[in-house]
């Protein structure tokens, strides 16, 4: 169950509330008796896949360029 705190208390104890949220708690901030915001931990992003299509770079990709192609790139 989420802990509910009023705005003034949240302002006073923000660092402590953030520490609780980092530990997994959920905090609801209320103006009077009306909930207006919720502090929740941000999910850590998982590993990102490289690229968006299945493709393997051929081994020949890393071979030195032929002299005529290398000359064309350098000109």
75 pLDDT more than 90: no
Instruction: Give the span between the Cα atoms of 19 and 27, in whole angstroms.
Output: 11
Q: Which domains does the chain have, with CATH numbers?
A: 3-41+49-74 (3.40.1620.10)
Q: Are the C-beta atoms of 9 and 20 separated by less than 8 Å? A: no
Q: Residue 35: what pLDDT? A: 97
Q: Residue 56: what pLDDT? A: 83
Instruction: Give the span between the Cα atoms of 11 and 31, in whole angstroms.
Output: 12
Instruction: Give the span between the Cα atoms of 29 and 3, in whole angstroms.
Output: 9
Q: Residue 28: what pLDDT? A: 97
Q: Residue 50: what pLDDT? A: 72
pLDDT digits (tens, 9 = 90+) for 8-65: 999 999 999 999 999 999 999 999 999 999 999 998 888 877 777 778 889 898 999 8
């Amino acid at each position: 169950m989420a802990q509910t705190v009023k705005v003034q208390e949240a302002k006073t104890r923000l660092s402590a509330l953030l520490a609780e949220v980092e530990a997994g708690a959920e905090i609801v901030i209320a103006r009077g008796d009306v909930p207006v915001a919720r502090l929740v931990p941000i999910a850590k992003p998982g590993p990102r896949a490289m690229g968006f299509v299945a493709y393997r770079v051929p081994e020949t990709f890393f071979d030195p360029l032929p002299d005529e192609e290398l000359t064309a790139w350098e000109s």
